[in-house]
Structure 1
Amino acid sequence: MPNRRNFLKASLLGASASMLAWGGKLAAAPTRAGAKATAARVVSTWDFGIAANQAAWAVLGKGGNALDAVETGVQVPESDLKNHSVGKGGYPDRDGHVTLDASIMDADGSCGAVAALEHIEHPISVARRVMERTPHVLLVGEGALQFALEQGFKKQNLLTPEAEQAWHEWRKTAKYQPSINSEVRDYGTGLPGGANNHDTIGMLAIDAHGRLAGACTTSGMAWKLRGRVGDSPIIGAGLYVDGEVGAATSTGVGEEVIRNAGSFLVVELMRQGRSPQEACKEAVMRIVRKRREASKTLQVGFLAMNRDGEAGAYAIQHGFAYAVCDAQKQDALIPAQSVYRTSYS
């Protein structure tokens, strides 16, 4: 009969072999016990989420995994030069630098993020490399750029002529005031000043195996102070995923989300038994209760999906919507309920 020492030795050797098979990383957590096959689904923030969802569905619809889907999906707005709040088309900070933030998270708690990253078109893919190839969660600034270049990403100028022109127009007054729902009102118009001056795409997906993943990426607030980082790359603020419960992401003024660990809060509320919409509403109401006067002039919204694929959202201001894509709905855009009903569109 094998003794305890031999048993432990065999167990350790088996674990080492498993890690080597996964390129030095622990094998992915299996689907939750007793889970049945799940209908794949992807949801994301705002109307530009429709195109992003289509790219993600190209992965999910073929039986691909949720992590690949969310990375592929959010790359679409990252490359869209008409989107001035995400990626390559993003407006710069007040010194004329385009800096990008992104995070990605898997069902087992694996996560990676980058903040204040310059010169790289797809920060979400750099975030995934941080998750898979380093012992860290978050790399920032010059260090994030150095890592990206070492990983083979190409350095490029992200300040487009359109964004540079808008920046020069803004400098005439240098007035800084984020606009509520600018991503809806002015998306694609290229208007200078307050137009398109902040937002994010957050994406959540569940694959046919019932595995969740999420991604969040942004160029942050236009004309921000150099070095400002919002909620998008902060795990637990802009994004949080727990494969046993659900996932959540946020949009709007990142400082308010960070103060409340918003996406983590939404997931924990779902853990307590609330539906995705109920959880999002309570997270929004906590911001409103703490910042009642300020909340009347700012936007924060949450989007959540539970482990069964049910989705829901809630926002402070009217006008937030989220896109849904699954086998039945390919381009649905669903308006979220809100605290205040005044339309800013």
Structure 2
Amino acid sequence: MRTFIYQYLILFLVITLWSCNTKNNIKEQQSNEKSEIVIEVIKPVVISTWNHGVPANEEAWKILSVGGKSLDAVEQGVRTAEANPEIQTVGLGGFPDREGNVTLDACIMDYNSNCGAVSFLQHIKHPISVARKVMEETPHIMLTGDGALQFALEQGFEKEELLTPESKKAYEEWLQKTNYKPVINIENHDTISMLALDEDGNLSGACTTSGAAWKMHGRVGDSPIIGAGLFLDNEVGAAAATGLGEAVIRTAGSAMVVELMRQGKSPYDACKEVVERIYKVHKNHADLEYLQVGFIALNKNGEYGSYCLRPGFNFAIKNATVNNELRDAEFKMK
């Protein structure tokens, strides 16, 4: 009888241990199955700032849709705004500084973290292409002023007058008041920024501007500054800014958006957090009255997002399922 009880206990222990081991194996298998979940990547994608982002996206899509590189797409995309004299905040026909000079800033960055920039560049219609030449043909990242112009001419760019009759007339009217007070949103947004993800899964970004209208001669905003107006990490995502450059520079805006995406935030949530940080920094500043800042962001999965401080900022988005829509960004302040 005693032997039978011992045998029964041993059998019970064996069955119990086997059951526990089986459950653990099932849990481990389920855990492994969860870790192998594949996230669908939507590509190619292009996103850009403001309503002139629509034609810019169309130009970029000509490259992306046939398997072209994101770097070529963003350069060619923003060139459409630089060449359009009706867009008086970028390139040809841009509003001048308070001395009547059109000065341009731009930067470009690729999936290998190569980047190039120009600032305070005069007489060259396409600063974004000069910035790319800086990236590819020099050991430097940024050239400025006369040095940037000299380099551009050496690279074959043509010198031309960028102050159009329309922009000159606006400048002469401003001289009657000489009141420096930036206008919120499209009237003085001063940037086109573009981000793209190509079929190879590589990101690139571009940013170009004629800067704030009636600025002090020599002023440079965030647009040519890597980490402020534009930043990307090809393992994570990309971000770009528009609006008052001084506010973006103070917070290293685009770099912060990318770092928040690295921490797991969505593009929208990352943009929102940085805008809220900018508001906190500037809520007691005199420039809050006319402060507008907006961000666009794009991650490696093709997810995109945007957020701004005040209503009025919009962005254009195009991918395989979204046919180049112009959308209003959500905002913090009414």
Q: CA deviation at 1:291?
A: 1.2
Distance 1:175 1:37, change over 3 A: closer
- In structure 2, distance between residues paired with 1:268 and 1:159: 39
Residue aligning to 2:65: 61
Which of 231, 234, 252 in structure 1 is aligned with 2:222?
A: 231
Matches within 5 A, 1:73-84: 73-84=77-88
Residue aligning to 1:177: 181
Which of 183, 188, 196 in structure 2 is aligned with 1:197?
A: 188
Residue aligning to 1:321: 314
- In structure 2, distance between residues paired with 1:152 and 1:240: 28
Report if aligned partners of 1:198, 1:222 keep a CA contact under 8 Å in 2. Answer: no
Compare 287-296 and 155-164 and name the one that shifted more. Answer: 287-296
Q: CA deviation at 1:290?
A: 1.3
Unpaired stretches in structure 2, ≥5 consecutive residues: 1-37
Alignment pair present for 1:217 and 2:221: no
Residue aligning to 2:130: 126
For 1:253-300, what per-residue CA distance to the aligned partner results, in whole angstroms no more than 9, with x for missing partners? 000000010000000000000000110011111111111144353100
Matches within 5 A, 1:1-345: 39-181=43-185, 183=186, 196-294=187-285, 295-341=288-334
Q: Which amino acid aligns with 2:200?
A: H
TM-score, normalising length from structure 2? Answer: 0.86
Q: Which amino acid aligns with 1:252?
A: G
Residue aligning to 1:22: none
Q: CA deviation at 1:203?
A: 0.1
Q: Which amino acid aligns with 1:168?
A: E
- In structure 2, distance between residues paired with 1:198 and 1:272: 30
- In structure 1, distance between residues paired with 2:125 and 2:324: 26
- In structure 1, distance between residues paired with 2:41 and 2:306: 25
The sequence identity of aligned pairs, in percent, is 56
Q: Which amino acid aligns with 2:241?
A: S
Q: Secondary structure at the match of 2:120?
A: strand
Q: CA deviation at 1:335?
A: 1.2
Distance 1:308 1:37, change over 3 A: closer
Report if aligned partners of 2:203, 2:234 keep a CA contact under 8 Å in 1. Answer: yes
- In structure 2, distance between residues paired with 1:158 and 1:130: 21
- In structure 1, distance between residues paired with 2:95 and 2:264: 40
- In structure 2, distance between residues paired with 1:297 and 1:170: 18
For 1:75-100, what per-residue CA distance to the aligned partner results, in whole angstroms no more than 9, with x for missing partners? 00001111011110200000000000
Report if aligned partners of 1:91, 1:197 keep a CA contact under 8 Å in 2. Answer: no
TM-score, normalising length from structure 1? Answer: 0.83
RMSD of Structure 2 on Structure 1 (CA):
1.4
Q: Which amino acid aligns with 2:281?
A: K
Q: CA deviation at 1:241?
A: 1.1
Q: Secondary structure at the match of 2:46?
A: strand
For 1:153-196, what per-residue CA distance to the aligned partner results, in whole angstroms no more than 9, with x for missing partners? 00001010111111111001101100111x1xxxxxxxxxxxx3
Report if aligned partners of 1:201, 1:216 keep a CA contact under 8 Å in 2. Answer: yes
Distance 1:248 1:312, change over 3 A: same
Q: Secondary structure at the match of 2:80?
A: helix
Q: Secondary structure at the match of 1:286?
A: helix
Q: Which amino acid aligns with 2:65?
A: G
Equivalent pairs counted in the alignment come to 295
Report if aligned partners of 2:195, 2:238 keep a CA contact under 8 Å in 1. Answer: yes
Residue aligning to 2:29: none
Q: Which amino acid aligns with 1:107?
A: Y
Distance 1:338 1:38, change over 3 A: closer
Unpaired stretches in structure 1, ≥5 consecutive residues: 1-33, 184-195
- In structure 2, distance between residues paired with 1:313 and 1:36: 21
